[in-house]
Amino acid sequence: MTNSRTITADQAETESATFLKDFLALIKIGIVNSNVITVFTGFFLAVQFSGRHFLHELDLMIYAVFGSALIVAGAAAMNNLIDRDIDPIMSRTKSRPTVTGRFKATSVFTMSVAFMLAGEILLFSASTNAGLWGLAGIFAYVVLYSMWSKRRHAANTVVGAISGAIPPLIGWAAAEPSLGMGAWALFLIMFVWQPPHFYAIAMRRTEEYRAAGIPMLPVVKGFKRTKRSMLGWVLVLFPLPFLLPQLGTAFLILATLLNLGWLFIALKGFKTGDEIKWATRMFVYSLNYMTILFVSMIIFSVIA
């Protein structure tokens, strides 16, 4: 009797753990977390640049952060629903719960819409502009990227970068509805950062994308053309930190050093003998680059 109860309890615990893992995969928790960081940075800089006290604006911060997390999670779940026919072809997506059947299509659709509606309510509670930018982000990701460009155009990564660059605008608009130059600097940095980041992923998964019929740049134009494009995007990053002079000289030096590091790796790609290993280095550097850059923005906004 005791053993039976123990087994039942263990099974229930395993089921709960599996459900949580599938749920987090469904909403793409990694993307949710990274977007929340940029939302918070946009909000924090807007508060600092307007001379207000962060602790006096906690209610707006909660609306912005949790509202953004919900709409990103909802949009990500909708993306999984849209892609459930091609995800089984790719090894990195074949275990998604929309593929395995762990989550049914009707349940995913209902949850996705509910999350996006709840998120928009929170964003509109912060400011009308924050809510409107949230709607723009949903439209850009679900419609322009997932439903239109992803399967049709090699420029799908650039189109997708629009939605990925909107979160800092949401955070900024929650604190300061009239977006200043700082907000657009964050938008441009996020927009330009994404193509080399996602092209690196595409290079590592080229054959999977080819099998799935997704016209990623390495599939359509090849690695040499992709590497030239990545180099170009990295070069465009160089002047963008200078749109944030309020953060001080130390920030500009740090940002330039980060850009030089990425440029060095990008240039090595033209002489590499192992293009996949190089693409992995570009991918890892891009993650560290964005984390360091955005955290440093918060720090330098306080001490500058």
Residues 195 and 172 both lie in one domain: no
Residues 196 and 169 both lie in one domain: no
Model confidence, pTM: 0.92
Domain boundary among 121, 156, 179: 179
pLDDT digits (tens, 9 = 90+) for 6-42: 556 556 556 666 888 889 999 999 999 999 999 999 9
Domain boundary among 148, 179, 210: 179
Residues 126 and 210 both lie in one domain: no
pLDDT of residue 122: 98
SS (H, E, C) the chain: CHHHHHHHHHHHHHHHHHHHHHHHHHCCHHHHHHHHHHHHHHHHHHHHHCCCCHHHHHHHHHHHHHHHHHHHHHHHHHHHHHCCCCHHHCCCCCCCHHHHCCCCHHHHHHHHHHHHHHHHHHHHHHCHHHHHHHHHHHHHHHHHHHHHHCCCCCCHHHHHHHHHHCHHHHHHHHHCCCCCHHHHHHHHHHHHHHHHHHHHHHHHCHHHHHHHCCCCHHHHHCHHHHHHHHHHHHHHHCCHHHHCHHHHHHHHHHHHHHHHHHHHHHHHCCCCCCHHHHHHHHHHHHHHHHHHHHHHHHHHHHHC
Here the CATH number for the domain that contains residue 240 is 1.20.120
Residues 49 and 147 both lie in one domain: yes
Boundaries of domain holding 91:
22-179
Residue 226 in domain = yes
pLDDT digits (tens, 9 = 90+) for 226-248: 999 999 999 999 999 999 999 99
Domain boundary among 144, 163, 179: 179
Number of folded domains that form the chain: 2
